[in-house]
Amino acid sequence: MESVSSEEILTFLTHLSQGNKQATKRTRYATLSAFFSFIRNTYDPEMKNPCDSLLLKKSFRAPKYNRWQFLEKETVDEIVFKIPNTRDRLMVELMARGGLRVSEVLKLTAKDVEDRKLVLRKPKSGKEIEIVFIPQKIANRLKEYIRENRFGPEDPLFPIGYAGARVVVKKAGMRVSISLSPHDLRRHAATYASRSGTPIEIVSKIILRHANLSTTQRYLGKVSDEEAIRWIEQLYG
């Protein structure tokens, strides 16, 4: 154990974590560092932890999490109403009103639409299917869109790639002078529901379809002092 060097740890972790996100890399580094600390504290107080090097700490430091912007409902309404193309508008609405990921929107076929229920096949969770519920107005527009375009049961409703979908969302945001990403829209679906009084269990299990509440709580973000005051005034003012 004493012969293991920091350079060997760096080579091992770099190879092990190639292609992984920074959070995953950090977790693996922290686990290995804790292992060496356990050996040192339990058996050999003089042993040096090879993970305690400046290079390793910098290479596997915790990722920085940006504070997400909270989109007001009025802003999202303006974004939606300014989209001239029916296809693009539906894509944005499914993310902003239904909480769908952009990848889930792109996988939808005509047979997946069952009025206000959307069937997601082979979702990110690993389940066979998941169900998404959407407002009736969007369901009606979606059915009309399918009818007008004469989609067959297996036809994708939005036959564009991931990069193209991001461009659609980016242009939609530019129409109201904001920087917008698909995940901003999905996050809006959660934050708007939560701040409108929807129980967090519904937000987590129905809208975002998360496995646990802690993931959902990260989506909801932080509350500013001004927003906290506004909500207290609404409740008790």
Q: Where are the domains of the chain?
A: 6-59, 73-236
**pLDDT for the residue 233:** 66
**pLDDT for the residue 228:** 60
Question: Per the confidence metrics, is the pTM higher than 0.85?
Answer: no
Give how far Cα 154 sits from Cα of 20, 116, 128, 161, Å.
33, 19, 17, 17
pLDDT averaged over 10-residue windows placed end to end, the chain, 237 residues: 88 87 86 89 88 89 64 91 95 93 94 91 80 90 96 95 95 93 89 80 77 64 61 59
CA neighbor of 27 nearest in space, from 62, 51, 65 = 62
Radius of gyration of the chain (CA): 23
The pair of structure tokens assigned to 184 is 């901003």
**pLDDT for the residue 77:** 93
Beta bridge partners of 114: 117
**pLDDT for the residue 71:** 84
Q: How far apart are CA 106 and CA 109, in angstroms?
A: 8
Which one is the CATH code of 73-236: 1.10.10.10, 1.10.3720.10, 1.10.443.10, 3.30.450.20? Answer: 1.10.443.10
Residue the block writes with tokens 């409108």 = 196
**pLDDT for the residue 219:** 60
